[in-house]
Amino acid sequence: MNVQYLSNEKGEGVVQISIEDWKNIQAKLKRGAFLTSFAEALVELKLMKKGILPEPEIDELFDDSDDPISGDFWDELPDHVKESIDLGLQQSLAGQTKPHEEVMKKFVKYL
């Protein structure tokens, strides 16, 4: 990464990088935010399983009426998440699925 440090006569500085490097940094930040959000969701699931947090009703999960930015969240998803979802849909349509019980055996350690 080519980084340039610029400063004015007051010593106030800025960092200048290429657009490509900036896009790479943004992608890494989005992935990090997604992973943090995912980790927080797993903690909530564990607390629900222990009975510390109440489990939401299914209709509450999809109720975005109190969301100030109502609308489709698809555009906000990182590209790698969209690609994973598309791949999963293609696999499902092709019959390449696994039973719920088999998947849960693998992921029960995270709950």
Token code pair at residue 84: 């994973």
**Domain spans of the chain?**
1-61, 72-111
Q: Is the pLDDT of residue 47 over 70?
A: yes
Helix or strand holding residue 108 (H, E): none
**pLDDT greater than 80 at residue 72:** no
Mean pLDDT, rounded, for 91-105: 88
Q: Decide if pLDDT at 67 tops 70.
A: no
91 within 8 A of 97, measured Cβ to Cβ:
yes
Residues 30-39 have pLDDT tens digits of: 888 888 888 8
Mean model confidence pLDDT for the chain: 83
**Beta-bridge partner residues of 15:** 5
26 neighbors 19 (Cβ within 8 angstroms): no
